[in-house]
Structure 1
Amino acid sequence: MTVAYLAYYLLVGRVIAAVFGNEVDKHDLLSTGASIFFGLVLPLAVGAVTLVGFTASIGWLRRVFGQQDVAGRRPWMWVGPALVIVAIISHAAAIDWSNWRPEQIALIALLGVCVGLAEELVTRGLVVQMLRGAERSERFVMGVSSLLFALMHMANMLSGMKASTVLVTIVYTFGFGVCMYLTMRVTGTIWAAIALHAFTDPTTLLASGGVDEAVTGHPGAWSLLASMATILMIAFSLVAVFLVRGNRRAPAV
């Protein structure tokens, strides 16, 4: 499922690039509104809509987007979404808003919505429900869905990202994926994970000033707090894999 979505997303991106390539600034995707829309937003929007359509076609909309059983949740699981919220607030506080035009901010916010919906639907939605349907343990479900989410970001190498940066991204996104899984587990809804994810990417982009730029490289107390939250997120995810217990079946359609 994850591989199929990634292949489709890349194909859509290629088609859009072939048609609207002149609108995209390959050296700085965030430089103009048109570049943000055609280079980043539109491929993800098409992917998100297609995923929702696929989910509806197999009759899983209620299973994925409906309220889930929260039996077995534990207080320690709230650490996951809490760390993500701290990172979001820190990134937002570190943004130099004077560097951004209103249309850039609006489109980057829309990008966040598309990223949150598409990536959470495919990994915390469809993949999790498939694994639960196969009666896998929750440790297995959390670990595998988070790993698949992380490995999706290997596609960044196709855009020229350095291998070392991709490796760091994979480590971070695994930790983030675990926290998103725990967010869904403690709230009983994928919408909570979609919302946090939708805030994470825009605040990170706006705070760092560019795609694939690290907020950790920027001075300031808020950037330092964001870095600490990110490091704790990764460390916590490794511990969480050993703490999670139980088996949960996918709800009936």
Structure 2
Amino acid sequence: MLLGIVVCAVYLAGLIALQKASGVPYVAIAESEPNLRKGVLIPVAVMTAVLVAFLAATGRLADAFSFAPTVSAAWLWAIPVVILLGVVLRLVRNPWSQVNGRFVGVALLATFLVGLSEELLIRGYFVGALQEAGLGLVWVGVVSSVVFGLLHGANILNGQDAKTTVQQVVASALMGLGLFASLVLTGSLWLPIVLHFLFDLSLVVGGSVKKEGSAAAKDEAVLIIAMYVLSLASVVALVLA
């Protein structure tokens, strides 16, 4: 488990260093295609390559994409469904005519790499390390989700304010539980990767045009709250598994 924490810390340190070197503060990464490319795409692409090389060299790459044991609670499918509904709402409502085509292309690649690398690191490699350390299913889910949340706390080092960072850490940890539930439901890392990718994509291309207090913001907020509640409830399924 200690090695797993070290690997997560090294990945995070490398990512922060590359993002700082880009000169693009976290709060400005989605403002333009160059910012998104320099502040997200390039740093994440580099660290994804490093992570994949490490997992391949240590013989852990193939195992990182599968999980056992699985949990057969059918109601857990509500979690990916709620996440996807929120994604669809944001994407359908996005004024695509106002979005630069190159920005969309970079956003697609950048957010896919974010989803791939973070899921491969946390719910692929780190979850496996926790299992090897002898942790039970519940603790594997909780600890990996807390670490996932804490990784996002590093955004404070690149320009994000403390209040927003704390909120992001808590929100990411809760979503981490939902993504872990998706992992144990299917036994495959690909569902968490796809959900993570689409969720981030919808935020990057659509979040800046959402009007606070509008009907769009309200129903999307309801879905997000539902996702958090279901994610917390998923712990019960892990306990009973």
Deviation at 1:245, TM superposition (A): 2.7
Deviation at 1:219, TM superposition (A): 2.1
User: Which residue of structure 2 aligns with residue 97 of structure 1?
Assistant: 96
Give runs of aligned pairs for residues 144-155 of structure 1, distance below 5 A.
Answer: 144-155=143-154
User: Which residue of structure 1 aligns with residue 215 of structure 2?
Assistant: 220
Moved more, 184-193 or 31-40: 31-40
User: Which residue of structure 1 aligns with residue 118 of structure 2?
Assistant: 119
Q: Which whole-Å CA distance do the structure 2 matches of 1:167 and 1:83 have between them?
A: 24
User: Which residue of structure 2 aligns with residue 49 of structure 1?
Assistant: 49
Q: Which whole-Å CA distance do the structure 1 matches of 2:191 and 2:18 have between them?
A: 27
Deviation at 1:110, TM superposition (A): 0.9
Gaps of 5+ in 1: 248-253
Contact 1:150 1:177 (8 Å CA) reproduced:
yes
Give runs of aligned pairs for residues 223-238 of structure 1, distance below 5 A.
Answer: 223-238=217-232
Q: Which whole-Å CA distance do the structure 2 matches of 1:95 and 1:217 have between them?
A: 14
Q: Secondary structure at the match of 2:239?
A: coil
Counterpart among 8, 11, 14 of residue 14 in structure 2? 8
Give runs of aligned pairs for residues 1-253 of structure 1, distance below 5 A.
Answer: 1-15=7-21, 17=22, 21=23, 28-65=28-65, 67-69=66-68, 71-209=70-208, 215=210, 217=212, 219-221=214-216, 223-245=217-239
- Which amino acid in 2 is paired with 1:95? N
Gaps of 5+ in 2: 1-6
When normalised by structure 1's length, the TM-score is: 0.85
Q: Tell me the percent identity.
A: 26
- State the number of aligned residues: 235
Q: Which whole-Å CA distance do the structure 1 matches of 2:86 and 2:69 have between them?
A: 25
Contact 1:179 1:233 (8 Å CA) reproduced:
yes
Distance change in 2, residues 1:236/1:26 (3 Å): closer
Contact 2:114 2:197 (8 Å CA) reproduced:
yes
- Which amino acid in 2 is paired with 1:51? L
